[in-house]
Chain A
Amino acid sequence: SQQGEEDPQALSIQEGENATMNCSYKTSINNLQWYRQNSGRGLVHLILIRSNEREKHSGRLRVTLDTSKKSSSLLITASRAADTASYFCATRTHAGNMLTFGGGTRLMVKP
Chain B
Amino acid sequence: ETGVTQTPRHLVMGMTNKKSLKCEQHLGHNAMYWYKQSAKKPLELMFVYSLEERVENNSVPSRFSPECPNSSHLFLHLHTLQPEDSALYLCASSQGAGGRTDTQYFGPGTRLTVL
Which residues of A line the B interface, CB within 8 A?
2, 4, 30-31, 33, 35, 40-45, 48, 50, 88, 92, 94, 97-104
The stretch from B14-22, B78-86, B98-106 touching chain A is: B98-106
- A42 x B90 contact (CB < 8 A): yes
Among B100, B102, B106, which residue has its beta carbon within 8 angstroms of that of A44?
A: B106
- B103 x A45 contact (CB < 8 A): yes
Among B4, B42, B98, which residue has its beta carbon within 8 angstroms of that of A102?
A: B42
Which residues of B line the A interface, CB within 8 A?
1, 4, 6, 40-43, 45, 48, 50, 55-56, 88, 90, 92, 97-98, 100-109, 111
Residues of chain B within 8 A of A35, CB atoms compared: 106
Interface centre among B6, B42, B48, B100 (most CB of A within 10 A): B42
Contact A98/B48 with A33-B103, A40-B109, A43-B106 known, Cβ cut-off 8 Å: yes
| Overall SS of chain A's interface | strand
Counting residue pairs across A and B whose Cβ atoms lie within 8 Å, the total is 58
Whole-angstrom distance from the CB of A68 to the nearest CB of chain B? 21
Residues of chain B within 8 A of A30, CB atoms compared: 100-101
- What are 11 A-B pairs at a CB distance below 8 A? A30-B100, A31-B101, A41-B1, A41-B108, A42-B4, A42-B90, A42-B108, A92-B102, A97-B50, A98-B56, A103-B40
Q: Nearest A residue to B31 by beta-carbon distance?
A: A97
Whole-angstrom distance from the CB of A11 to the nearest CB of chain B? 16
